[in-house]
Structure 1
Amino acid sequence: MNKKCLLKKTLLATMIALASQHAAAAGFLLVEDSATGLGRAFAGEGAIADNAAVGARNPAAMATFDTAAFSVGLSYINPSVDTEVHSATFGDTGKAKDIAPDAWVPNIHYIHPVSDKFAVGTSVFSNFGLSTEYPKNVGSLGGGNTELMTVNWAVNGSYRMNEQFSIGAGVNVLYADAEMNRYIPPGSPVSGGQRAVKMKGDGYGYGWNAGLLWEISPQHRIALTYRSSIDTTLKGKGDFLSQGITNTSAEMDIEFPDLWELSGYHRVATKWALSYSVLRTGWSSFKELKAESSSCTVGKGVCFEKAEYWKDSWRYSAGVTHYLNNQWTLRAGVALDRSPVKGEYRTMSIPDSDRYWYTVGATYSIQDNSTIDIGFAYLDGDAKKGTETDMVGNVPVVYEFEAGGDAYIFAVQYSYWF
């Protein structure tokens, strides 16, 4: 069995890109770092600074805090994603319902002012993630099961230059853990029903972030932030049926994309404010992935290698905040998430499409120094058709499919000011 043909669109495409239909943002990006932000579709996140969660989006905004602040939150992602394989070379057609399991995404943040000009802070949250489960007999080479989990720990500092400008920067430590399994179609004359690929690994990567906050006035703020790409090497064990190798040491490099965000906040009336954000995710840096092991002698240590054709994606969001009274603040927002996957490259592993967000949220002030936030979002994603070709030996395996679905996100958060 030819290893390059078999592995080209199994381990690579599914280890990473299958997140596209259940990660909250385009590609496999997660943006759920606060319930407050969810209520306004994460519009204006780098500029508003209404609790400690801003440290995850813009370190410069920490300098605006005159007292220590703490926030802890939890988001629950409930996707409803279905795939139907209409035709397949070896008959592994059918419907795969709810391929994306529910997920819990926690976050925690702390900001500590050192002086009236300098502050430090730390945040723990997740920027990327996926989890999908297909029946073994439906789209076997493009299905199977995949899981990618990441945890990002950020340590930041900020400096207030004057009444209008603050700057900030920090470092990020990212931990990633991934596992996947793929199967030969049951009807295949070559090893039908057997597992084609299994790989499990984890690893660390390091990056940095920086931000700028311009306080035009107490009622108007604009922010610009940047988070660097992070190269991570996942090391673990792998099974490669094409080479007759099991439980071998293997590793794979993943370059998580960089992020640029421009955001604004404007208090247009005593009880009303508008916010907006434009977020660019640098998916074009995701050019290829390569799995390597000294046991893969056919490829001189390369178990597989494949080019990718993703493009940078954009997310546009707008939100409104209503300061109802001393106890209640209400929010609503909308967003458009552009897919990084071009139509001609859409496969079962990457059935990504544009996504529309509709969100609401509220803050309740328990006391002067503590609040409870709740947020809700409905994500509307179109179902898209695609054609994928894999190989079993020298035999092409062609799938014609349709995939898509929606998602619901619920979030809660507690914030405290010392």
Structure 2
Amino acid sequence: MNNKCLLKKTLLATTIALASQHAAAAGFQLVEHSATGLGRAFAGEGAIADNAAVGARNPAAMAMFDTAAFSAGLSYINPDVDAEVTSSAAINPGDSGKAKDIAPDAWVPNIHYIHPVNDRFAVGTSVFSNFGLSTEYPKNVGSLGGGNTELMTVNWAINGSYRINEQFSVGAGVNVLYADAEMNRYLPPSFGGNRAVKMEGDGYGYGWNLGALWEINPDHRLALTYRSSIETTLKGKGDFLAHGQTNLSAELDIEFPDLWELSGYHKVAPQWALSYSVLRTGWSSFKELKATSSQCLDNTCFQKTENWKDAWRYSVGVTHYLNNQWTLRAGVALDKSPVPSEHRTLSIPDSDRYWYSIGATYAIQNNMTVDAGFAYLNGSKKKGREVETVRGVGDVTYDFEAGGDAYIFAVQYSYWF
């Protein structure tokens, strides 16, 4: 088996480039940091400040709090994704077939706290996830490009805000990201179906974020936020059949993308408000995947050039303040894919997707609320082609069609001290 083909093309997504159709947002991004935000498709997140969860999106908005606030929530992501794979090689007849429900369900928790120091300064912290999820293909379907891949990340943010005057506030923070990943790839059944590659590892990365808030008046607000990219080195162990190596120490460098967001909130009537967001994710920084080890030829176990592009997300939401106890929400969003159609693969069959969301808040008392949100993500099936090379035999071509929908449910508890 050719090393570069097995460890450069076969590991299309390696430890982090998950089957992005199955993440909650485009690429392998997650945006589920709040059940409140889910109810309006995360429209206007940097400007609304319903509860302490805003600290995960815009540190400047913490200036709107005149008392300490706490919020914690849990999202459940239920993908419904299938794939159909056809192998063109006569030597590989058992590598074709249908793969059902290839994206496992996932639970995504979050927790936030904001503490005003005085009438100008506030500090806060948030723990949530920006990237993740997984895929699991049967071993005998698209073996070299499928397999299973899993990524889990945790982002810990420490933020501060400063109120310049009644209208303008700014904020900044630092982020610590922990990533843990595992992936496996298999030889086609005609080659015995043995595991060709196993990798697992974890690591930390560090970044920063900035935010600004313009309170035009109590009913109208605009926000601009930026979250830096984070470079992370995953260190762990791997088995590489092509190298004849097991339990090999290796490293993989990855740069998680930066984020820009413009958001707004406008109370257009006593009981109605509109919100919107434009989010740009800098996926063009995802240029290559390269695993290195002193025990691999030229210190390179594999290297794969990626061709992702920056992606945009557009969302619009409406909020109805029904009465003192109930607040209702709805929203829609368009999430553009960062993966060009000509580079779509079995592990990354990404496509544009549409969000349709609803949600509600119930005020148990003046300083205590519970939230629930639901979103349906509509993603169309897309076709693609992937070519793998087997030494002494030639190319094995996988033609495939993959995709599906996803359902997100979230609950949240918030308290003001």
TM range (shorter): over 0.9
Which residue is equivalent to 2:248? 248
Partner of 1:179, secondary structure, is strand
Which residue is equivalent to 1:365? 363
**How far, CA to CA, are the matches of 1:151 and 1:95 in structure 2?**
33
Per-residue deviation, 1:150 = 0.1
**How far, CA to CA, are the matches of 1:212 and 1:393 in structure 2?**
56
Does 1:317 find its partner at 2:320?
Answer: no
**How far, CA to CA, are the matches of 1:14 and 1:323 in structure 2?**
46
Which residue is equivalent to 2:151? 148
Alignment of 1:118-137 (within 5 A): 118-137=121-140
Does 1:3 find its partner at 2:3?
Answer: yes
Which residue identity lines up with residue 397 of structure 2 in the other structure? V
Q: 1:97 aligns with which of 95, 100, 122?
A: 100
**How far, CA to CA, are the matches of 2:389 and 2:66 in structure 1?**
61
Which residue identity lines up with residue 174 of structure 2 in the other structure? V
Per-residue deviation, 1:282 = 0.2
Partner of 2:169, secondary structure, is strand
Which residue is equivalent to 1:284? 284
For each residue in 1:346-403, what CA deviation from the matched residue of structure 2 results, as whole angstroms up to 9, or x when unmatched? Answer: 1111100000000000000000000000000000000001110012225211100100
Which residue identity lines up with residue 196 of structure 2 in the other structure? A
Does 1:333 find its partner at 2:336?
Answer: no
Which residue is equivalent to 1:407? 406
Which residue identity lines up with residue 343 of structure 2 in the other structure? Y
Which residue is equivalent to 1:387? 385
For each residue in 1:188-228, what CA deviation from the matched residue of structure 2 results, as whole angstroms up to 9, or x when unmatched? Answer: 3xxx3111110000000000000000000100000000000
Native 8 Å contact 2:61 2:161 kept in 1: yes
Does 1:54 find its partner at 2:54?
Answer: yes
Which residue identity lines up with residue 412 of structure 1 in the other structure? V
Alignment of 1:159-178 (within 5 A): 159-178=162-181
**How far, CA to CA, are the matches of 1:383 and 1:332 in structure 2?**
26
**How far, CA to CA, are the matches of 2:30 and 2:15 in structure 1?**
16
Per-residue deviation, 1:115 = 0.3
User: How many residues matched?
Assistant: 413
Native 8 Å contact 1:14 1:349 kept in 2: no
Identity score, percent: 82
Greater alpha carbon shift after TM alignment, 116-125 vs 81-90: 81-90
Provide TM-score, normalisation by structure 2: 0.98
Per-residue deviation, 1:187 = 1.3
Native 8 Å contact 2:18 2:348 kept in 1: yes
Per-residue deviation, 1:86 = 2.7
Q: 1:187 aligns with which of 176, 179, 190?
A: 190
Alignment of 1:20-99 (within 5 A): 20-89=20-89, 90-91=92-93, 92-99=95-102
Partner of 2:15, secondary structure, is helix
Which residue is equivalent to 2:373? 375
**How far, CA to CA, are the matches of 2:199 and 2:30 in structure 1?**
23
**How far, CA to CA, are the matches of 1:140 and 1:416 in structure 2?**
49
Per-residue deviation, 1:22 = 1.2
**How far, CA to CA, are the matches of 1:42 and 1:72 in structure 2?**
17
Per-residue deviation, 1:17 = 2.5
**How far, CA to CA, are the matches of 2:395 and 2:13 in structure 1?**
17
**How far, CA to CA, are the matches of 1:380 and 1:74 in structure 2?**
22
**How far, CA to CA, are the matches of 2:315 and 2:14 in structure 1?**
29
**How far, CA to CA, are the matches of 2:12 and 2:205 in structure 1?**
19
**How far, CA to CA, are the matches of 1:247 and 1:45 in structure 2?**
45
**How far, CA to CA, are the matches of 1:390 and 1:15 in structure 2?**
19
Partner of 1:16, secondary structure, is coil
**How far, CA to CA, are the matches of 1:232 and 1:260 in structure 2?**
20
Which residue is equivalent to 1:158? 161
Which residue is equivalent to 1:272? 272
Which residue identity lines up with residue 222 of structure 1 in the other structure? L
Per-residue deviation, 1:5 = 1.2
Which residue is equivalent to 1:342? 340
Which residue is equivalent to 1:206? 206
Which residue identity lines up with residue 157 of structure 1 in the other structure? G
**How far, CA to CA, are the matches of 2:412 and 2:80 in structure 1?**
24
**How far, CA to CA, are the matches of 2:115 and 2:383 in structure 1?**
50
**How far, CA to CA, are the matches of 2:391 and 2:239 in structure 1?**
17
Which residue identity lines up with residue 415 of structure 2 in the other structure? Y
Native 8 Å contact 1:14 1:142 kept in 2: no
Which residue identity lines up with residue 412 of structure 2 in the other structure? Q
Partner of 1:150, secondary structure, is strand
**How far, CA to CA, are the matches of 1:392 and 1:123 in structure 2?**
47
**How far, CA to CA, are the matches of 1:33 and 1:166 in structure 2?**
22
Which residue identity lines up with residue 118 of structure 1 in the other structure? F
Provide TM-score, normalisation by structure 1: 0.98
Question: Which residues of structure 2 form unaligned runs of 5+?
Answer: none
CA RMSD of aligned residues (A): 0.8
Native 8 Å contact 2:12 2:345 kept in 1: no
For each residue in 1:245-280, what CA deviation from the matched residue of structure 2 results, as whole angstroms up to 9, or x when unmatched? Answer: 000101101100000000000000000000000000
Which residue identity lines up with residue 26 of structure 1 in the other structure? A
Native 8 Å contact 1:109 1:121 kept in 2: yes
Native 8 Å contact 1:10 1:197 kept in 2: no
Per-residue deviation, 1:289 = 1.1
